[in-house]
Amino acid sequence: MFLAVSGLQKSYGTGIVTPVLRGTGLELARQRIGVILGPSGSGKSTLMNIIGGIDRADGGTVEVDGERISDLTDDQLLEYRRASVGFIFQFYNLVPNLTAGENIEVVSNISEKPLKIDDVLSAVGLADKKNRFPLELSGGEQQRVAIARAIVKSPRLLLCDEPTGALDLETSRGVLALLQRVNAEFGTTILMITHNAAIADMAHSVYRMRDGQVEEATHHDQPVPAERIQW
């Protein structure tokens, strides 16, 4: 299994301890798309942060492509993030005073074998907007730049935190279709957090979380193309 999470526990706070993850577990095969559904406070983001190596669990294990990242040191986690993980955020989080091309270059600069910036921009359909600043782009275009920024280092795992949360329906469809294409063309395993249950149809695996645990995991062999998703 490409991604294997088992018995993950995480609490916040020192005086009054709030458990966020209570023995969470999930598995996702290589080159598949997984979607985590759940209400606010169910522990989706915490789970994703731990899988992405920017937070640590109090207990349990996380294995990515055979590497137990829950045992890595801080420096090793950094190398793991740098080499293997791409992040996409709900509000794009682009650097406002860098152009689309430069935003991608920022990540390309720290990658060992980055893809060509022009190729990545073409892949996300923004070849002609390379020199535009984020404020000169629509929300959907900005998210495309964020996707391009995340995939320029050819990550093995792409983590998406509500990637369509700030977009309208049509634009969301376009972004999701792009993620499906990235999955198909680059073979990138994608794990996505969303509130939107309709998006689950485009995933190979769907995990429903509640109170820090995965309540239900379903798997589809033939996910629905993003263009046909209705909500």
Partner 1 sequence: MVSALNRRIWRMLREHMGRYVGIAILVLLGSFYFTAATGVAGSMERMVVGFADRNQQEDLTFTTDKPLDIADWERESSATIEASLRHDVRLPKGELRLLSPGAELNLAQVTSGQALANPGDVLVDPHFLQTQGLKVGDVLTLDGRTFTVVGTVAVPNYVYPLKGLYDVLPTAGFGIGVAAQADIEALPSATEAASTTYSVRFHDRDRIEAQTAALRNLLGDDGYRVTEWIEAEHNQRISMPWGNISSMQSMSFPVAIAFFVLGCVIVGVMITRTVKADSIIAGSLYALGYRRAELTRHYLAVPVLVTLAGSLAGTLWRCLASRRWSAPCSPRTTCRTPGCFSRRTILRSRCSRPSC
228 Cβ neighbours under 8 A, 6+ residues apart: none
Per-residue mark of binding to partner 1, 131-150 (x: CB under 8 A): ------------------xx
- Residue 193 in the binding site for partner 1 (CB under 8 A): no
Amino acid at the residue 161: D
How does strand 157-161 pair with strand 67-68? Answer: unpaired
Q: Which is nearer to partner 1, 109 or 218 (CB)?
A: 109
- Residue 110 in the binding site for partner 1 (CB under 8 A): yes
- CB 27 → partner 1: shortest distance, Å? 23
- CB 35 → partner 1: shortest distance, Å? 20
112 Cβ neighbours under 8 A, 6+ residues apart: 83
Q: Which 70-109 positions form the footprint of partner 1 (CB under 8 A)?
A: 78, 81-83, 85-87, 89, 91, 93-98, 102-103, 105-109
- Residue 95 · residue 106 · CB < 8 Å: yes
Q: Which is nearer to partner 1, 111 or 213 (CB)?
A: 111
Count CB neighbours of 115 within 10 A.
17
How far is the CA of 34 from the CAs of 66, 137, 228, in angstroms?
18, 29, 18
- Residue 154 in the binding site for partner 1 (CB under 8 A): no
- Per-residue burial over 132-150, b if 16 or more Cβ lie within 10 Å, else e, is bbbeebebbbbbbbbbbbb
Q: Which 53-72 positions form the footprint of partner 1 (CB under 8 A)?
A: 54
- CB 204 → partner 1: shortest distance, Å? 24
- CB 196 → partner 1: shortest distance, Å? 22
List of residues contacting partner 1 (CB under 8 A): 52, 54, 78, 81-83, 85-87, 89, 91, 93-98, 102-103, 105-111, 149-150, 153
